[in-house]
Amino acid sequence: MKYFNTTGRCREDRHYMLPPEPRLPEAREYIEEGSYFVVHAPRQSGKTTVLETLARALNAEGRYVAVWFSCEQVRIAQTVEAAEGQLLEILAMAAAGRIAPEFRPPCPWPDARPGNRLYEALRAWAICCPLPLVLFFDEIDSLQGDILISVLSQLRNGYQSEERDEFPYSVILCGMRDVRDYKAASGGDPSRLGTSSPFNIKVESLRLDDFTHAQVVELYEQHTEATGQKFSPEAVQRAFEATQGQPWLVNALAREITKKMRVPVSEPITDGHMDEAVERLIVARATHLDSLVARLHEPQVKRIIEPMLAGTDDTTDPAYDDDASYVRDLGLVKQGRPLQIANPIYQEVIVRVLTGHVEDRIHVDPRSFVTPQGRLDFDKILEEFVDFWRLNGEILARQQTYSEAACQLVFMGWLHRVVNGGGLIDREYAVGRGRIDLLVRWFLPDRTEQWEAVELKVHRRGRPDPTTRGLIQLDGYLNRLGLSQGTLVVFDQSCEFPSITDTNGPSGRTIILLRI
């Protein structure tokens, strides 16, 4: 019985999976040309599955000798000499397990001085191999510093040598980051290789994209064909919205429903099931999510994520573009501009991690904010937040690592603690928005939802008061949601006495203004 895979590479005999090669259609063309190129994508995107499948297909066709291998074990090497030895040992083992004896590399590898062993070994193999040699260097960005420089330099020297036919025909470097960023991993000084890129021979950098909505449908339909259990269109749409097609998340949601929630196969999978799976995944914070969370306190990640949460624009930082490239390659933010968190699940996990210490300080019973009719008493939520802020706000804000977004994070921590268990919070934040938009969706006894829209802004000293602009922005947000009332929270550094007043937006909608 096949299942949705969330650990390691996919196997056709065990897992529901999309055909790998169509996810990287350009690769074939570049291999045919004898090009050297880069494939990159965030972790858990399916890179290894695609490359291994492509290598097997090339070998089966009989026109090339293709070998996939991982550089990850070389991570522990301390010197170039040690790294070359380990890399050649891994390569020989991979060849022994995947290709016929007549195509395998020479044994032993030829002797050569350290710093040139990889070049001489690959040259010797290409000369004795009767077919063009195609090598897939997976996890290439496991290598660092002088070791990375040496490996890339030797590959470049082989590619540029006059005896080009005496070196591997095509080389594919695969990792999390694009080759343009390898200079950072090699020490940050492009001049060490005399070029702006240590692998400037590459013809292209190919990014393995996330799944489209159609591909999510195709993947989930494999489960339907195998078991008869259908995913409703609404459930698939909810999965795509929550994941934006990130492959691991798409599989993880389906696995959560089919293996852990154990929805009977006689029942269709609904958007309600998918909502529950999303929440369970966020709370459980599996290994993939934890590995992203661990990056939040890296300086280059913080320099990108903090302005998003604060709603400010930090593009004046000289390191901004490099930081943005790094965070995109991690998969934390979307491609393109403006910078936004890659998907709602990551968005929620980031906020919950950064507000965890706030929730630990909140000693209220969430049920005390629910009316006898089952509605959320939002006026009471705001009033008690004022009291909480007076006692704890400044202390919690000072403890917040993301200091520029401290006020917003304290409020979101409060709101989540109150709403948790009876509703959900949708968040919208991105660089340059100047605000955070929140939508509280509270589940009522009659299975309808109560919606409460909130906008957060900060008035910093020396800056114009954002209230008027906030009323305009919130009015537009309410219009998009079809709501007649909303709440604007302004954290004002010059405010001595918090106040809650009623006012109106430009279109006449009622807006509760909390200035604190």
Tell me the DSSP string of 13-43: TTB----SGGGSTHHHHHHHTT-EEEEE--T
- Determine phi and psi for 483, rounding to 5 degrees: -110, 150
Same domain, 258 and 169: no
Residues 380 and 445 in one domain: yes
Do 238 and 89 share a domain, yes or no?
no
Structure tokens at 83: 């790294």
Q: How far apart are CA 219 and CA 250, in angstroms?
A: 9
Helix axes 80-98, 47-61, angle to 10 degrees: 50
Tell me the C-alpha to C-alpha distance, in Å, between residue 346 and each of 155, 336, 353, 455: 37, 17, 11, 20
Contacts 24+ apart (CB under 8 A), 50-57: 50/20, 50/21, 50/23, 50/24, 50/208, 51/136, 51/138, 51/172, 51/174, 52/9, 52/136, 53/20, 53/21, 54/20, 54/21, 54/24, 54/27, 54/28, 54/136, 55/98, 55/134, 55/136, 56/98, 57/21
Residue 369, SS3 per DSSP:
helix
- Position 454 scores a pLDDT of 96
26 and 114: one domain?
A: yes
User: Mean pLDDT, to the nearest integer, of 330-346?
Assistant: 87
**What pLDDT is attached to residue 481?**
95
Residue 321 lies in a domain: no
Do both 166 and 238 map to the same domain? no
Of the ranges 63-72, 193-202, 423-432, which is most confident?
63-72
Mean pLDDT of the chain: 89
Q: Which of 284, 307, 325 is the last residue of a domain?
A: 284
pLDDT at 231 over 90: yes
481 is written with which tokens? 């949601």
Alpha carbon 407 to chain centroid, angstroms: 25
Q: Do residues 43 and 80 share a domain? A: yes
CA distance 437 to 418: 18
Match 């009323």 to its residue by tokens. 471
Structural domains in the chain (count): 3
Residues 507 and 374 grouped into a single domain: yes
User: What angle in degrees, to the nearest 10, is found between the helix axes of 233-243 and 247-255?
Assistant: 130
In a shared domain, residues 219 and 173: no
Do residues 61 and 91 touch, judged by C-beta distance below 8 A? no
Residues 173, 243: one domain?
Answer: no
**Where does the pLDDT of residue 124 fall: very low under 50, low under 70, confident under 90, or very high at 90 and above?**
very high
Does any domain span residue 187? Answer: yes
Mean pLDDT, rounded, for 153-164: 87
The pair phi, psi for residue 150, each rounded to 5°, is: -65, -45
The encoded tokens of residue 347 equal 């968005």
CA–CA gap between residue 303 and residue 300 (Å, rounded): 5
SS3 1: coil
Strand stretches in 295-334, DSSP E: none
Are residues 39 and 168 both part of a single domain? yes
pLDDT tens-digit series, residues 97-117: 889 999 999 999 999 999 999
pLDDT recorded at residue 370: 96
For 305, phi then psi, to 5°, come to -70, -40
Predicted confidence at residue 44, as pLDDT, reads 87
% of the chain at pLDDT higher than 70: 93
Same domain for 460 and 494, yes or no, is yes
Domain membership flag for residue 314:
no
285 φψ region: left (φ > 0), alpha (ψ -120 to 50), beta (else): left
Q: What is the pLDDT of residue 258?
A: 96
**CATH number for the domain including 80?**
3.40.50.300
CB 300: neighbour CB atoms within 10 A? 18
What pLDDT sits at residue 289?
85
> What pLDDT is recorded for position 314?
56
Assign 188 a pLDDT band (cuts: 50, 70, 90).
Answer: very low
Same structural domain, 174 and 218: no
- Read off the pLDDT band of 196 (50, 70, 90): very low
Helix (H) or strand (E) holding 491: strand 485-492
Q: What is the pLDDT of residue 194?
A: 41
DSSP SS3 for 6: coil
- Phi then psi for 450, rounded to 5 degrees? -95, 125
How far, in Å, CA of 452 to CA of 479, rounded? 13
C-alpha span between 485 and 510 (Å, rounded):
5
207, 235, 265 — which closes off a domain? 207
- Full domain range(s) for residue 256: 213-284
Contact between 119 and 152 under an 8 Å Cβ cutoff? The reply is no
Sign of the Cα torsion 490, 494, 500, 502 reads negative
Distance CA 233, CA 38 (A): 36
